[in-house]
């Protein structure tokens, strides 16, 4: 940490995880010494077989999952410090889930407005204005008053992205955002995510969409058995002859 203090804050990693370990109460060692740095504006894609700890790692980054040992620093705030108010950290890191997790009792607009009003204490008018422009940005201007049950999977996921953006987060975490979607809806969600990436949003994305990784990732990470096996730029990543990665890519491609 001392060496980093000399570096101006804007050049320091926004997310800095070092030697993170996670052992679940049932004894499952889901993360083994995982370290990762994400700079401001970077997009990091995590791939790996099911059960390799991708979700668990992502969830430790906003402390939905407390870690067993190691350190996670977010914008110079140590999340593992007992004195850190975790709610303040969480509102600065958005999370988009595989199963959308929209609030079913609220309309699309209501979903996006809720947290800004309750957490950021925005006025209703203010929250509504932001929500409307965000929903417009994800292409749902005509769906604002629909309840989630009346929206397709792709539309729900776009509402979920807008909902995260409404908190003006410093970073967004995506946990397989397109895995629960019918193939024809994957594109619309990926397009929104590409737009965010080009707009300079810091993103950590768990996905099986190799095309997305190739196109927008600054770095691609391969995880297996709770370990971070490989971390490379997309070009070098997809040309790597690492045997474990080869085995995995051979299975999915």
Partner 1 sequence: MQTQSSRWLGHGLYLVIMAVLISGVYFAGQKIDYTWHWERLWPYVINTESQDIVAVTDGTAVVDKSGRLSIQPDYGDDPQIIDVYDTLVSRDGDLIFQGDTIARIDGWRFGPIAEGLWVTIKISFISLIFAVLLGVMFGLMRVAHGQVWRNLAMTYVEVIRGTPLLVQIFIVYFFIGTVFDLDRFTAGVAALSIFTGAYVAEIVRAGIQSVPVGQMEAARSLGMNYVQAMAYVIMPQAIKRTLPPLAGQFINLIKDSSLVSVISITDLTKAGREVVSGSFAPFEVWFTVAILYLVVTGGLSLLIQRLEKRLSASD
Ligand X SMILES: Nc1ncnc2c1ncn2[C@@H]1O[C@H](COP(=O)(O)OP(=O)(O)O)[C@@H](O)[C@H]1O
Interface ranges with ligand X (CB under 6 A): 24, 26, 28, 30, 48, 50-56
Closer by beta carbon to partner 1, 38 or else 165: 165
Our CB check for ligand X shows the closer of 58 and 138 to be 58
All residues at 6 or more sequence positions from 226 whose CB lies less than 8 Å from its CB, including other chains: 22, 29, 30, 31, 32, 34, 52, 53
Residue 26 interacts, among partner 1, Mg ion, ligand X, none and using kind-specific CB cut-offs from 5 to 8 Å, with ligand X
Give the contacts of 56 (CB within 8 A, at least 6 positions apart).
22, 30, 31, 65
Tokens of 121: 């204490």
Asked if residues 226 and 52 have their Cβ atoms less than 8 Å apart, the reply is: yes
Residue 220 contact among Mg ion, partner 1, ligand X, none, beta carbon within 5 to 8 Å by kind: none
Spatial distance between the Cα atoms of 67 and 83, rounded to a whole number of angstroms? 15
24 contact, one of partner 1, Mg ion, ligand X, none, CB 5-8 Å limit per kind: ligand X
Binders of Mg ion in range 42-71 (CB under 5 A): 55
Q: How far is CA 232 from the centre of its chain?
A: 19
- Name which of 50 and 87 has its Cβ closer to ligand X: 50
From the CB of 162, what's the least distance to partner 1, in Å? 12
Q: Give the tokens for residue 70.
A: 């190691």
When CB distances are held under 5 to 8 angstroms depending on the partner's kind, the choice from partner 1, Mg ion, ligand X, none that residue 238 binds is: none
Give me the least distance between CB of 249 and ligand X, in Å please. Answer: 16
Cβ(15)–Cβ(37) below 8 Å = yes
For Mg ion, the binding residues (CB under 5 A) are 55
């Amino acid at each position: 940490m001392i060496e980093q203090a000399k570096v101006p804050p804007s050049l320091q990693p926004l997310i800095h995880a070092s030697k993170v370990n996670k052992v679940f109460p049932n004894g499952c060692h889901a993360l083994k010494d995982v370290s990762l740095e994400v700079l401001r504006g970077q997009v990091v894609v995590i791939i790996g077989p099911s059960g390799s700890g991708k979700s668990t790692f992502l969830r430790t980054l906003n402390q939905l999952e407390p870690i067993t040992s190691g350190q996670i620093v977010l914008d110079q705030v140590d999340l593992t410090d007992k004195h850190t108010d975790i709610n303040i950290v969480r509102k600065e890191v958005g999370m988009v889930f595989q199963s959308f997790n929209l609030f079913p009792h609220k309309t699309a607009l209501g979903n996006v407005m809720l947290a800004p009003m309750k957490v950021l204490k925005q006025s209703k008018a203010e929250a509504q204005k932001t929500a409307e422009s965000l929903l417009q940005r994800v292409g749902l201007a005509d769906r604002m008053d629909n309840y989630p049950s009346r929206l397709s999977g792709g539309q729900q996921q776009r509402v979920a992205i807008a909902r995260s953006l409404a908190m003006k987060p410093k970073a967004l975490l995506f946990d397989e955002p397109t895995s629960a979607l019918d193939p024809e809806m994957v594109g619309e969600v990926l397009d929104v995510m590409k737009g965010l990436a080009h707009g300079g949003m810091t993103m950590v994305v768990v996905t099986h969409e190799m095309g997305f990784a190739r196109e927008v990732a600054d770095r691609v990470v391969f995880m297996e058995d709770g370990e971070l096996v490989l971390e490379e730029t997309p070009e070098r990543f997809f040309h790597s002859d690492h045997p474990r990665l080869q085995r995995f890519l051979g299975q999915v491609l």
